[in-house]
Chain A
């Protein structure tokens, strides 16, 4: 059915974005509401003849009004409150502080993007005076909620510094009274009962990598210590952490990430079953990164289309399990669904507008250098310091937050400034990573890259499923528990 743009009723139609969707139209608006309209209804809608829709479907008519698509029936207080909630992350300040306590690592992963050094390489550990300056710098940031995340290399190779930071940050916070969250990202190879006890006592959540069953995990994630089988060690500790979670009142479920390589293809069920067997309640299907050293992973690479096929296959299996009573979920889907189905935004750094670089997160290298994000820190290992915004010993909070690079990242990730994104139907749910653009094309502005295609395809799939009430109920169950949402992000 053709659209006659001359017949648009300017007084009746509120702002919306749209696209053709399986024979219908999907319309969304600035506060993330969505609605499906049959072509006839879409034409009635833009002509301001919503009474025509009411005659055929009163529920659809109410939906259009309640979701703020009808201009002369807007509830401004509701609209403003929802817009404020959806952009609450803008007032939270720089809350995520990633500390790379060492660049040394005892694994040699096929796709490593962290540019780690060898296990015995000297001069790659953060010393205690630098760690103290890092914590002092973190508390200069005015954000009321602070998350300190330990990354590497393998952070437990420099556990003394991890321990110092945790204790010093907690001590410092007694005066500051911020909401302090601590998180460790580790391959668990150096974890001991004593360290685990310390982490539990200090309420540190633990996240690791699990690439599926042993035959995939151990090919991707090669332990340099011949006495350690990476897969078996990871699974052993995941079980132990789960037991602590269930029996000792430890607040944090174990968490794991999957980096999808072409070795995963054809094994989606096996991988998900492995996660469930390991006591995990979700999986995060992340595509291979093009950051830093990851290009060396060419032999593991694939097209964005192949990734999407794998993603759909996996999500279908997860939904099948949910229909049988499981509550297992996929985290990328969860992030999008949280934006689609609730009045709030999870503030996920890579999927917000503007992105979190500098204004939501910063990364501290082992030597005290500060970067807009961990990916910016990774690039520095290749000699590209474009995303360095200061050093803990020489720069103030003001220097960092007003750094031209922080401003550039902000402008280039604000979807309203990007022609193809500003009009995209998925704009309310999406985000871009200027640093990813930079690594792909040396340009922080880059239209239609693989990430855009992957996000678009995942959202297409989720909206397709949302048209089915059975699946919609599952999705609503996933996002219902906000506490779970925050824990998952």
Chain B
């Protein structure tokens, strides 16, 4: 049995999360159809022999759970910064960054993005050829 899911509607995280919930009863294989309209193709194989009716029911449950997982992903993504802020303040008494926008969303960020420049090598930032004022360097430490 195969199900094709458009990633614009169902985030990949939601698809993976739903597969995980059914991992006890189903074998999964996932593939990506990277066409104009990107799709994830989910191949499902029940671990036990099931009747056609039981397979249909399993598929329906999977689709319902997928919807819940999509909702969970949206709520989680949209509240990520608030949750991090609460945990940091509660457990570490970390003072919040005054420029930090709690209510903005991280949705547009890709894992390869690096808004804080953490992945930029030191030489590129402060190397010999870069004339950086001492004060500026200290303020970043």
Residues of A near any B CB (own CB < 8 A): 3, 5, 8, 10-11, 13-18, 30, 46, 71, 74, 76, 79-81, 83-84, 87, 90, 419-420, 423, 447-448
The complex places the Cα of A15 from the Cα of B74 at a distance, in Å, of: 10
- Cβ–Cβ < 8 Å partners of B71 in chain A: 3, 5, 8, 46
Which of B45-53, B76-84, B108-116, B123-131 lies at the binding interface? Answer: B76-84
- Cβ–Cβ < 8 Å partners of B27 in chain A: none
- Cβ–Cβ < 8 Å partners of A83 in chain B: 86-87, 90-91
- Cβ–Cβ < 8 Å partners of B74 in chain A: 5, 8, 10
B6 within 8 Å of A by Cβ?
no
Residue from the list B17, B23, B82 in contact with A15, Cβ < 8 A:
B82
B70 within 8 Å of A by Cβ?
yes
Nearest CB of A to B101, in Å: 12
B103 within 8 Å of A by Cβ?
yes
- Cβ–Cβ < 8 Å partners of B83 in chain A: 15, 30
- Cβ–Cβ < 8 Å partners of A79 in chain B: 86
The complex places the Cα of A210 from the Cα of B124 at a distance, in Å, of: 70
- Cβ–Cβ < 8 Å partners of B2 in chain A: none
Please tell me if the beta carbons of B79 and A423 are within 8 angstroms of each other in the complex: no
- Cβ–Cβ < 8 Å partners of A81 in chain B: 90
- The chain A residue sitting closest to B24, CB to CB, is A448
B57 within 8 Å of A by Cβ?
no
**Complex interface residues of chain B between 10 and 35 (CB less than 8 A to chain A):** 17, 20-21, 23-24
Please tell me if the beta carbons of A3 and B17 are within 8 angstroms of each other in the complex: no
- Cβ–Cβ < 8 Å partners of B90 in chain A: 80-81, 83-84, 87
- The chain A residue sitting closest to B76, CB to CB, is A15
Nearest CB of B to A425, in Å: 10
The complex places the Cα of A80 from the Cα of B93 at a distance, in Å, of: 10
- Cβ–Cβ < 8 Å partners of A80 in chain B: 86, 89-90
Residue from the list B17, B86, B91, B105 in contact with A30, Cβ < 8 A:
B86
B42 within 8 Å of A by Cβ?
no
Nearest CB of B to A92, in Å: 13
The complex places the Cα of A13 from the Cα of B76 at a distance, in Å, of: 10
Please tell me if the beta carbons of B24 and A76 are within 8 angstroms of each other in the complex: no
- Cβ–Cβ < 8 Å partners of B72 in chain A: 17, 423
The complex places the Cα of A86 from the Cα of B91 at a distance, in Å, of: 10
The complex places the Cα of A8 from the Cα of B105 at a distance, in Å, of: 14
- Cβ–Cβ < 8 Å partners of A16 in chain B: 75
The complex places the Cα of A71 from the Cα of B81 at a distance, in Å, of: 12
B67 within 8 Å of A by Cβ?
yes
- The chain A residue sitting closest to B14, CB to CB, is A5
Please tell me if the beta carbons of A13 and B75 are within 8 angstroms of each other in the complex: yes
User: Besides A5-B71, A83-B86, 4 other CB < 8 A contacts?
Assistant: A8-B75, A10-B74, A30-B83, A80-B90
Please tell me if the beta carbons of B67 and A3 are within 8 angstroms of each other in the complex: yes
Listed A/B pairs (30) with beta-carbon separation below 8 Å: A3-B67, A3-B71, A5-B70, A8-B71, A10-B74, A10-B78, A13-B75, A13-B78, A13-B79, A14-B82, A15-B79, A17-B72, A18-B68, A30-B86, A71-B82, A71-B103, A74-B82, A76-B86, A80-B89, A80-B90, A83-B86, A83-B87, A83-B90, A83-B91, A84-B91, A87-B90, A419-B20, A420-B20, A423-B17, A423-B72
- Cβ–Cβ < 8 Å partners of A14 in chain B: 79, 82
- Cβ–Cβ < 8 Å partners of A84 in chain B: 90-91
Closest 6 CB pairs of A and B: A15-B79, A83-B90, A84-B90, A10-B78, A80-B89, A419-B20
Please tell me if the beta carbons of B78 and A419 are within 8 angstroms of each other in the complex: no
The complex places the Cα of A5 from the Cα of B74 at a distance, in Å, of: 8
- Cβ–Cβ < 8 Å partners of A87 in chain B: 90-91
Please tell me if the beta carbons of A420 and B91 are within 8 angstroms of each other in the complex: no
Please tell me if the beta carbons of B86 and A420 are within 8 angstroms of each other in the complex: no
The complex places the Cα of A423 from the Cα of B69 at a distance, in Å, of: 9
Residue from the list A13, A46, A447 in contact with B23, Cβ < 8 A:
A447
- Cβ–Cβ < 8 Å partners of B78 in chain A: 10, 13
Nearest CB of A to B56, in Å: 19
- Cβ–Cβ < 8 Å partners of A5 in chain B: 67, 70-71, 74
Over the window 116-137 of chain B, the binary record of Cβ atoms lying under 8 Å from chain A Cβ atoms (1 yes, 0 no) is: 0000000000000000000000
The complex places the Cα of A445 from the Cα of B78 at a distance, in Å, of: 28
- The chain B residue sitting closest to A418, CB to CB, is B20
Query: Which among B20, B21, B67, B90 has the greatest number of chain A C-beta atoms within 10 A?
Result: B90
The complex places the Cα of A90 from the Cα of B21 at a distance, in Å, of: 29
- Cβ–Cβ < 8 Å partners of A3 in chain B: 67-68, 71
The complex places the Cα of A419 from the Cα of B14 at a distance, in Å, of: 11
The complex places the Cα of A423 from the Cα of B70 at a distance, in Å, of: 12
Query: Which among B23, B75, B76 has the greatest number of chain A C-beta atoms within 10 A?
Result: B75
Please tell me if the beta carbons of A15 and B20 are within 8 angstroms of each other in the complex: no
The complex places the Cα of A420 from the Cα of B24 at a distance, in Å, of: 12
Residue from the list B21, B67, B105 in contact with A10, Cβ < 8 A:
B105
The complex places the Cα of A79 from the Cα of B88 at a distance, in Å, of: 12
- Cβ–Cβ < 8 Å partners of B105 in chain A: 10
Please tell me if the beta carbons of A71 and B79 are within 8 angstroms of each other in the complex: yes
The complex places the Cα of A16 from the Cα of B83 at a distance, in Å, of: 11
Query: Which among A13, A80, A448 has the greatest number of chain B C-beta atoms within 10 A?
Result: A80
Nearest CB of A to B126, in Å: 33
The complex places the Cα of A81 from the Cα of B76 at a distance, in Å, of: 21
- Cβ–Cβ < 8 Å partners of B17 in chain A: 419, 423
The complex places the Cα of A419 from the Cα of B24 at a distance, in Å, of: 14
- The chain A residue sitting closest to B80, CB to CB, is A15
- The chain A residue sitting closest to B70, CB to CB, is A5
- The chain B residue sitting closest to A68, CB to CB, is B86
- The chain A residue sitting closest to B78, CB to CB, is A10
**Complex interface residues of chain B between 32 and 66 (CB less than 8 A to chain A):** none
The complex places the Cα of A257 from the Cα of B86 at a distance, in Å, of: 38
The complex places the Cα of A16 from the Cα of B21 at a distance, in Å, of: 19
